[in-house]
Structure 1
Amino acid sequence: MNNGKQTPSVALRIATLMDRERVESLPRNYELIYDAYSGSNPELTREFMAIEGPKTQGVLDEIGRKYLPHQHEEGVLAKANDTMQSQMFEFLKLIQNEASSLAEFEKAVSEASRAMSSDTEIDRAAIAKSIDRLSKATEQQARTNKTLSDAAAAQNAAISDLKKEMDAIEARKWTDPVTGLANRRSFNKTVVGIYANPNKPSACGLAIAEIDDYQNFNASGQSPWSNRTLQEIGAALKGGNPTRQFIANMEKGRFAFVLNTENPDRITGFITGIRNALAAKRLLVTRKNMANEKLTMSFGIALASTATSAGDLIGQSEKALAEALKAGSDKMRFHALAEAPDSARNYQIYAAR
């Protein structure tokens, strides 16, 4: 029997904290507190820790609107609804005015036509009057048409701005606000998508990486890291990703890479590019005050075809990463599935450069 003390899960720790602080059990509160304690957004962590007094819903929502705006999209939706209603009302008024103007224009044209097609002797004064009325009616109709055209253009611009705002809100749901990479929610969705057809998963490789000696690396001598440092790391990872593979920030110095290949050589080549991009970022110091320390990562890789599900694939990658970390810094390990004589499945880890 194992009597060793077990570390409670993150979910349990967050739930316990919320209960102790009397925080309402809302999904947005859980996400906010999780992000605050994970250290994925250092500025959020510092602001959350600086809260004095009770963590009321109003205080939490104020921080949430600043750092997790996708949680509070109802305000944007209400604004969009009000704007659209106002736009439609004004446009309908213009259309009604257009209809009235067209009726007046039709009347002026008809009268001018009757005056010029009369069987009686042509009256110069009547023709001049008709021409004058028709000219004024034409000018008025032109102004009305321009007003309607300008209004339509303005409405189109307003709708375009609303669409951009709505698209930005949707994008923020799947984006890490600090690094600009995908977030854990996006990662989960992407990995699950690999097994959309469980009988034929997509040919993908999953690499989970961790910054070596993460706890000792920081930009200011304090942990967690600064947002600026994480932003620069995110930029470095993007720069080392010319083929636009999926990259997510998994918090606490971990990143996930979903690659559209199971070819070990191509995977190794991609990781070499990431390593080179990181090597160019000599911006950090350690607690030992070693300036320009090289930033390295260790990688654990698994292939979709060797796993039965998204959870299995992640587990294999994490197991390979654990072996890479044990081997030292800047290491890479593949996790392969091999047939064993006396068992249905046997997981085998092997090294790669």
Structure 2
Amino acid sequence: MMAIANSSPKQLAEQNRKELCYTVFATLNRLEIYASPVNYELMYEIISGNNPELREKFARLAKPIPEEELDALARAYLPHHFGKSLVDESTNRIQSELSTLKESLQSGQSSLSSYSSLLGQATGKISSMDPRDTKSIQSHLQAIRQLTEVQQSKSTQMLESVSTQITAVAAIASDVEEFERTKFTHLATNLANRRGFNKKLAELYGGERYPEGASLILCNLLALEPFEAKELVKLKEAILERLGFVVSQIVQTTDFAAWLDRPQIGILVWTSAEAEIQKVADQLKKSCQSAFDSRQRRMPVVLARFGCSTTFDAGTASELVGHAEKALQTATESASDKVVFFADSEAGGARKDWMLYRK
């Protein structure tokens, strides 16, 4: 597909997306994989390079690819596609609870109407009585009191029933919200997952204005490598939980953090100042060291490598990630403890200055 002459970054990004879509469908067809929504998204993640770990696992599958192994990958990396039963179940439960709620309200309305009618009749009879006939008046007042007590009991039961139904509906809504949240959440760390990260990048570059002054920091924690063994899975999960907590503590409310598996951590910060970015990296490394601290066993030394790119250097989300990955690779190869910032070779190794293009 030919590039569009004098294209804007947004047009180029759209063109790249279209080309990627064509590639995904062509690959599915070549591998004789049914182009279902879940298989399409799985292949999209693999080809786009958004998830290197998924790509590696897919590459190791036997050819032709067994359907059950493909399904296992999809369930592991795209769990949101397998939540239909939960949504359907929640819908049925809500319909049932609302039907019960409607019945309770209708019953309460009928009871109130009956009480109102009987009360009106009793009041009318009392009004027509001889004021001196105290015995008859007392008898009717007693009847009114009994009617009121019965109605009070029914009203209490109705309110309890309504409260129960409302609580049940709220619980179902909470379950659905939690399910929606897990689509974009890395369960072990409680940070955003790769899907949530991609969604955030799409939002960043999806606006009408150029995303100014944002930076992507990628971090690899080499200390996690010894915990890949199966017998250390539970220990690794505990460490990941602590890592997620400490990362969320250092990230500002306006910033964004995700656990990407490889590289492990991605942080979007609204600054391009190198000193500020280095400060975030230093805080992150120090906090991560505390996550590995344990008196029960000897923990490895935490080695963190950081690569960074800014939106001034990248016209698209894929460029932003690609540049940060290159910087991270440089940091890893040079064993640098400092943040390595992406430098465009075409710009003589200097970071681009987009000030002229700001509105």
1:189-208 alpha-carbon deviations (Å, 9 max, x no partner): 21222223354314211011
Assess, with a 3 A threshold, how the Cα gap between structure 1 residues 207 and 230 changes in structure 2: closer, same or farther: farther
Paired with 1:321 and 1:62, the residues of 2 have a C-alpha distance of 27
1:138-168 alpha-carbon deviations (Å, 9 max, x no partner): 0111112112211221122111111111111
1:269-293 alpha-carbon deviations (Å, 9 max, x no partner): 1100111122234469xxxxx9532
Paired amino acid for 1:170: E
The reply on whether 1:200 has 2:210 as its aligned counterpart is yes
Contact preservation (8 Å) 1:195, 1:201: yes
The reply on whether 1:298 has 2:305 as its aligned counterpart is yes
Paired with 2:313 and 2:183, the residues of 1 have a C-alpha distance of 30
The reply on whether 1:185 has 2:166 as its aligned counterpart is no
Paired amino acid for 2:149: E
Paired with 1:96 and 1:209, the residues of 2 have a C-alpha distance of 60
Over the matched positions of the two proteins, sequence identity in percent amounts to: 21
Paired amino acid for 1:158: A
TM-score by length of 1: 0.74
Paired with 1:62 and 1:111, the residues of 2 have a C-alpha distance of 72
TM-score by length of 2: 0.72
**Displacement after TM superposition at 1:320 (Å):** 1.1
Residue number in structure 2 paired with 1:264 = 274
Residue number in structure 2 paired with 1:239 = 246
Contact preservation (8 Å) 1:212, 1:329: no
Paired amino acid for 1:243: V
Match of 1:117 among 104, 127, 136: 127
**Displacement after TM superposition at 1:234 (Å):** 4.8
Paired with 2:151 and 2:128, the residues of 1 have a C-alpha distance of 26
Deviates more, 1:328-337 or 1:302-311: 328-337
The reply on whether 1:163 has 2:173 as its aligned counterpart is yes
Paired with 1:108 and 1:80, the residues of 2 have a C-alpha distance of 42
Contact preservation (8 Å) 2:278, 2:338: no
**Displacement after TM superposition at 1:301 (Å):** 0.6
Paired amino acid for 2:205: Y
Assess, with a 3 A threshold, how the Cα gap between structure 1 residues 32 and 123 changes in structure 2: closer, same or farther: farther
Contact preservation (8 Å) 2:129, 2:137: no
Paired with 2:209 and 2:27, the residues of 1 have a C-alpha distance of 40
Residue number in structure 2 paired with 1:149 = 159
SS of 1:292's equivalent in the other structure is: coil
Contact preservation (8 Å) 1:210, 1:253: yes
Is there any run of 5+ residues in structure 1 with no aligned partner, and where?
1-11, 285-289
Tell me how many residue pairs correspond in the alignment: 314
**Displacement after TM superposition at 1:120 (Å):** 4.3
Paired amino acid for 1:276: K
Match of 1:330 among 326, 337, 357: 337
Paired amino acid for 1:160: A
Paired with 1:19 and 1:283, the residues of 2 have a C-alpha distance of 49
SS of 1:256's equivalent in the other structure is: strand
**Displacement after TM superposition at 1:254 (Å):** 3.0
Assess, with a 3 A threshold, how the Cα gap between structure 1 residues 194 and 68 changes in structure 2: closer, same or farther: closer
SS of 2:301's equivalent in the other structure is: coil
SS of 2:257's equivalent in the other structure is: strand
**Displacement after TM superposition at 1:128 (Å):** 2.6
Assess, with a 3 A threshold, how the Cα gap between structure 1 residues 308 and 179 changes in structure 2: closer, same or farther: same
1:157-195 alpha-carbon deviations (Å, 9 max, x no partner): 111111111111111110112332211111112122222
Assess, with a 3 A threshold, how the Cα gap between structure 1 residues 19 and 257 changes in structure 2: closer, same or farther: same
SS of 1:299's equivalent in the other structure is: strand
Residue number in structure 2 paired with 1:274 = 284
Contact preservation (8 Å) 2:257, 2:266: yes
Assess, with a 3 A threshold, how the Cα gap between structure 1 residues 76 and 280 changes in structure 2: closer, same or farther: same
Aligned-CA RMSD value: 4.0
**Displacement after TM superposition at 1:333 (Å):** 0.4
SS of 1:251's equivalent in the other structure is: coil
Assess, with a 3 A threshold, how the Cα gap between structure 1 residues 26 and 267 changes in structure 2: closer, same or farther: same
Assess, with a 3 A threshold, how the Cα gap between structure 1 residues 253 and 192 changes in structure 2: closer, same or farther: closer
**Displacement after TM superposition at 1:69 (Å):** 4.4
Paired with 1:239 and 1:60, the residues of 2 have a C-alpha distance of 34
Is there any run of 5+ residues in structure 2 with no aligned partner, and where?
1-22, 352-359
**Displacement after TM superposition at 1:222 (Å):** 5.8
Paired with 1:248 and 1:73, the residues of 2 have a C-alpha distance of 22
SS of 2:187's equivalent in the other structure is: coil
**Displacement after TM superposition at 1:294 (Å):** 0.6
Higher strand share: 1
Paired with 1:253 and 1:318, the residues of 2 have a C-alpha distance of 8
**Displacement after TM superposition at 1:113 (Å):** 1.6
1:64-89 alpha-carbon deviations (Å, 9 max, x no partner): 3x886422222122222212221222
Assess, with a 3 A threshold, how the Cα gap between structure 1 residues 243 and 291 changes in structure 2: closer, same or farther: closer
Paired with 1:222 and 1:90, the residues of 2 have a C-alpha distance of 49
Paired with 2:105 and 2:292, the residues of 1 have a C-alpha distance of 62
Residue number in structure 1 paired with 2:146 = 136
